Amino acid sequence: MTIIKTITYKFQDETNTTNTETIQLKISEDEKLQMYCIHRSLKNQLTNGRIRNADTKTRSEVRGGGKKPWKQKGTGRARAGSTRSPLWRGGGIIFGPRNKIYKSKVNKKEKELAINTLIYNKAGNTRVIDNLSITTEKPKTKIAMNIFNQLDINIKQYKNILLVVDKKTTFIYMSFRNIPNIELIEAKNLNVLSLLKAEIIIVTNKSLDIINKK
């Protein structure tokens, strides 16, 4: 059975006025079901990111071997039709690894429950900012660092910081890309792995609206 949980975040705008933003999340009452959905969604995400590049050639793909090595009868040796037989050195490979793209499926509702559960559980480690507009002529890492200083967040204390924005513009990306422990992601692409890794989550006000609608 699912229930509706409400989270109210406080944030300050550019005029230092304290505002609130409320989102509603549908999560399961059963903790075992919560962990099951998170596990399934994480496994699905990790599986779909796998590609096996190892590739061996079968006897039909190995070059050469068109001529019969010796006649069929009268030599006293075993019959041989091609030097590219898997029994021969330099021949094809039997049941060798092939290129493969791994795919798995998870129900949409399970994935939504997993993400909602993680957002709810990490509400205490979530900070909301009014916006993330960078209006300088050139993107600068210094500007990105100033944002964390204003929030009184020492980024050196955290291994993984998740920054959720409504739109990943070139200026925002260029400003934050040199900070190694920050993952920049759009709200529409929020996923289980990023939420699990994050020690602290910073969300813009517009991103919360997108998450609430999703």
Start-end of CATH 3.40.1370.10 domains in the chain: 2-50+106-213
Using CA atoms, how far apart are residues 165 and 172, in angstroms rounded to an integer? 9
CATH number of 2-50+106-213: 3.40.1370.10
Q: Residue 116: its pLDDT value, please?
A: 93
Tokens 């969604």 sit at which residue?
41
62 by DSSP, 3-state: which?
A: coil
Q: Residue 159: its pLDDT value, please?
A: 92
- Facing residues of 53 across strands? none
pTM equals 0.79
Q: Residue 82: its pLDDT value, please?
A: 92
* Residue ranges of the chain with per-residue pLDDT less than 70: 13-17, 132-137
Q: Which two tokens stand for residue 39?
A: 């596990």
- Residue 139 Cα to chain centre, angstroms: 26
Q: Residue 41: its pLDDT value, please?
A: 94
Q: Residue 14: its pLDDT value, please?
A: 61
Q: Residue 36: its pLDDT value, please?
A: 92
CB contact set of 66 (below 8 Å; sequence gap of 6+): 82
Which of 196, 164, 170 minimizes the C-alpha distance to 182?
164
> Which one-letter amino acid corresponds to residue 43?
K
Residues 118 and 110 sit within 8 Å (Cβ to Cβ): no
Q: Residue 137: its pLDDT value, please?
A: 63
Using CA atoms, how far apart are residues 141 and 164, in angstroms rounded to an integer? 17
